[in-house]
Amino acid sequence: MNQHQLQALLTQVQRGVLEVPEALHQLRTLPYENLGFASLDHHRALRQGFPEVIFCEGKTERQVVAIARTLLRKNNSLLATRVERSVARALLRISKRAVYHEAARVVAIAPPKLVRRGSVLIVTAGTADIPVAEEARVTADIMGSRTDTLYDVGVAGLHRLLGQQERLHEARALVVVAGMDGVLPSVVGGLVRQPVIAVPTSRGYGAHFGGLAALLTMLNSCAAGVGVMNIDNGFGAGCMAHRINMVGEVSPAAPPGRRS
């Protein structure tokens, strides 16, 4: 249940269209709902603006489907990450609105009247980094940010990035994804004044240590305004970029007793 749904429910009670017992019945699982193997946080959309996201790795197909069905009964959108093809097929059967973004390994159901705002630019050093970048892009997109991509502009051919500086400066937030030496976020951070969210990927040769080399490079960046996500965490980067992008777009609800 999101803020608009709750407001509509309370308005129905206020107008006498809905009886209090029925409203209580609808609200009984508002904080969370226990499925035995999962406790679903139905309050998250009210607190954070988007429902709980399903992380599918380590869950069975049956568990993922049960969680998705329960979340959809309370919300008009859904985001599931790290989705294998067999699980994706099962989720696509739940709703005709569901879309499988194969490169990102994400299944998403967008709100029916989603209006995307602002500008988030997703940048990659190489083509091999695109799956993580796509996870970030789809996440920010489904949450309500307008997104764009700039792929394969790593430091091995720096002129490719320098030729796109206007696009870098137009974005409100940037997600920069890189493996190997992980240098690209520092370069971008030195060119722009917007926040840069760096994402190391597990792409590289032996001394890359599964993304650890890129992670340490990004953590040691000498460019100001660069924040770092964990290895391959495209979802976290997309969520953070969306929140930065929405600053000033959507005012939070005023606490009780206060006026905005």
pTM for the whole thing? Answer: 0.82
Q: Is 107 left (phi over 0), alpha (psi -120 to 50) or beta?
A: beta
Domain finish residue from 80, 109, 138: 109
- pLDDT tens-digit map of 23-78: 666 665 567 667 788 877 777 777 777 888 899 999 999 999 999 998 888 888 89
Domain finish residue from 56, 88, 109: 109
Contact 128, 259 (CB under 8 A): no
- pLDDT tens-digit map of 118-136: 999 999 999 999 999 999 9
Residues 127 and 85 in one domain: no
Residues 102 and 123 in one domain: no
- pLDDT tens-digit map of 177-203: 999 999 999 999 999 999 999 999 999
Contacts of 41 (CB under 8 A, 6+ apart): 31, 32, 52
Mean pLDDT within 200-209: 90
Domain finish residue from 68, 85, 109: 109
Neighbours of 239 (CB within 10 A): 22
Q: How many domains does the chain have?
A: 2
**Is residue 257 a part of any domain in this protein?**
no
C-alpha span between 80 and 135 (Å, rounded): 10
DSSP 109: E
The domain spanning residue 235 has which CATH number? 3.40.50.1970
**Is residue 50 a part of any domain in this protein?**
yes
Nearest to 197 by CA among 256, 121, 251: 121
